[in-house]
């Protein structure tokens, strides 16, 4: 199998950050914005891009920027600002907004957009993104807040189950197939587990952060729940959260789940790659490391309760900030060029993400990528039925409450019913805070 590049970070999500509310309070006092103008004596407009990418992905960004500057010689993109990876971008941008000197474009996690979009300096992109109707539904959801488009999509992904075929063979267990259930998942994990060999059926992040939480949302949605109820004041999974958490409880009871207690989930993936875990719920970004480790793997869609396919996508964003009309126009020009299918597919292949739109998916370059990399087609097809978390200012608190509930069930500290009651109480309290 050919090599594929890994994406921004192995987990794709980081721990919820504290202090955002304090920083945003400072933002309100700094509405004057950053340095205006940006037009040089030669007529070129210079904009700052805080891309937040790691070394490998940074090279892809630099190549794309070089091509853009050749196509648009009157726009120059400064890549020197920011100085942080995506995991640290939220606090970096909040501090920049508070100081009144901020970039024109920043890479912002989708789950952080609602916090950033409260700033009056964030550019509204409603009706400003070409090909909007071609974007996958979760991509549209991830950049929309209160009916307005508050960012441009940067990348997307999806979750599926990657199986280590050697572990299955050694245990004499049949590989799962499309249409399997969560009952099948827990039973398979139990059969794969071998305490004598130190083999686990599956793994789950046990920190309580977003990486812990977002794996459970597909179960909630499949059962008919929502993250936040239609009234916006209560959680939308009060009636189904206990059943979703029961899957976690079953894994914990059977001792078939490796609990990764460290942020980043690196240990969980190491156990899988070392041949001591049979299944891992992950995204296409992890295929690079799995291939590098020479794991004989296969990919199957997520299980379900209802028989209907369901998974989650976690799109991230390019968020634009108002440094004056000339720089806003230049920033819009760049992100629209970047999201054109011809550029998007280059970014997807280079960064290990998935196409943002149907036209990008249909391009020959992506079809060749799918043919070359085993299992990539499963993640790509999932974009048709995947969902995204809502863009809501209280989402971090809801996620944190559910994350702690998952951890308490993983470690056997609370039953699903007890964990759900506490989660609901804490999340509902957060949702009642005026924002």
What pLDDT, on a 0 to 100 scale, did the predictor assign at position 40? Answer: 87
Q: Of 83 and 130, which is predicted with more confidence?
A: 130
Residue 386 pLDDT > 60:
yes
Residue 12 pLDDT > 50:
no
Average pLDDT over every residue of 164-173 = 98
* Domain architecture of the chain: domains with CATH: 45-156+314-388 (3.40.190.10), 159-313+392-432 (3.40.190.10)
Report CA 329 to chain centroid distance, whole Å. 28
Average pLDDT over every residue of 323-338 = 98
Average pLDDT over every residue of 76-104 = 92
Residue 207 pLDDT > 70:
yes
Q: Which residues contact 354 (CB under 8 A, 6 or more apart)?
A: 155, 156, 157, 158, 284, 313, 348, 379, 380, 383
Residue 178 pLDDT > 50:
yes
Q: Please tell me the total number of residues recorded for the chain in this structure.
A: 435
What pLDDT, on a 0 to 100 scale, did the predictor assign at position 389? Answer: 97
Residue 5 pLDDT > 50:
no
Average pLDDT over every residue of 269-281 = 98
What pLDDT, on a 0 to 100 scale, did the predictor assign at position 83? Answer: 82
Residue 208 pLDDT > 70:
yes
Tokens found for residue 236: 């939308």
What pLDDT, on a 0 to 100 scale, did the predictor assign at position 4? Answer: 34
What pLDDT, on a 0 to 100 scale, did the predictor assign at position 36? Answer: 52
pLDDT band with cut points at 50, 70 and 90 for residue 354: very high
Q: What's the Cα-to-Cα distance from 299 to each of 165, 197, 258, rounded to whole Å? A: 10, 24, 19
The terminus-to-terminus CA distance of the chain in angstroms comes to 49
Kindly report, residue by residue over 51-64, the tens digit of the pLDDT.
999 888 899 999 99
Q: What's the Cα-to-Cα distance from 427 to each of 19, 92, 118, 433, rounded to whole Å? A: 18, 26, 20, 10
Residue 104 pLDDT > 60:
yes
């Amino acid at each position: 199998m050919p090599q594929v590049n890994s994406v921004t970070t192995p987990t794709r999500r980081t721990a919820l950050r504290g202090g955002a509310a304090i920083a945003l309070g400072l933002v309100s006092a700094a509405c004057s914005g950053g340095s205006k103008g940006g037009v040089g004596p030669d007529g070129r407009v210079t904009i700052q891009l805080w891309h937040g990418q790691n070394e490998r992905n940074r090279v892809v960004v630099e190549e794309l920027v070089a091509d853009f500057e050749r196509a648009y010689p009157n726009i120059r993109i400064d890549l020197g600002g920011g100085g942080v990876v995506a995991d640290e971008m939220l606090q970096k941008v909040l501090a920049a907004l508070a100081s009144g000197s901020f970039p024109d474009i920043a890479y912002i996690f989708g789950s952080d957009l609602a916090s950033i979009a409260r700033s009056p300096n964030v550019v509204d992109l409603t009706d400003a993104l070409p090909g909007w109707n071609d974007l996958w539904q979760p991509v549209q959801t991830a950049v929309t807040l209160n009916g307005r488009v508050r960012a441009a999509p940067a990348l997307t992904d999806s979750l599926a189950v990657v199986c280590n075929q050697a572990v299955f063979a050694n245990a004499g267990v049949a590989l799962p197939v499309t249409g399997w259930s969560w009952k099948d998942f827990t039973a398979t994990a139990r059969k794969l587990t071998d305490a004598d060999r130190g083999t686990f059926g599956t793994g789950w992040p046990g920190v309580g952060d977003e990486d812990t939480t977002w794996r459970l949302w597909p179960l909630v949605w499949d059962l008919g729940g929502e993250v936040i109820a239609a009234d916006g004041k209560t959680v939308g999974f009060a009636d189904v959260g206990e059943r979703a958490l029961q899957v976690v409880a079953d894994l914990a009871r059977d001792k078939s789940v490796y609990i990764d207690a460290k942020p980043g989930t690196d240990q969980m993936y190491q156990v899988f790659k070392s041949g001591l875990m049979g299944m891992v719920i992950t995204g296409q970004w992890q295929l690079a490391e799995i291939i590098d480790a020479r794991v004989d793997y296969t990919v199957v869609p997520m299980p379900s309760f209802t028989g209907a396919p369901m998974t989650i996508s976690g799109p991230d964003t390019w968020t634009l900030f108002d440094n004056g009309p000339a720089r806003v126009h230049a920033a819009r020009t760049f992100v629209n060029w970047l999201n054109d299918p011809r550029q998007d597919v280059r970014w997807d292949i280079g960064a290990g993400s998935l196409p943002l739109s149907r036209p990008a998916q249909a391009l020959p370059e992506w079809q060749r990528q799918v043919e070359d990399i085993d299992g990539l087609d499963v993640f790509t097809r999932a974009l048709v039925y995947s969902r995204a978390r809502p863009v809501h200012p209280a989402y971090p608190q809801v996620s944190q409450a559910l994350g702690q509930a998952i951890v308490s069930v993983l470690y056997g500290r609370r039953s699903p019913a007890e964990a759900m009651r506490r989660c609901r109480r804490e999340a509902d309290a957060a949702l009642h805070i005026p924002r």
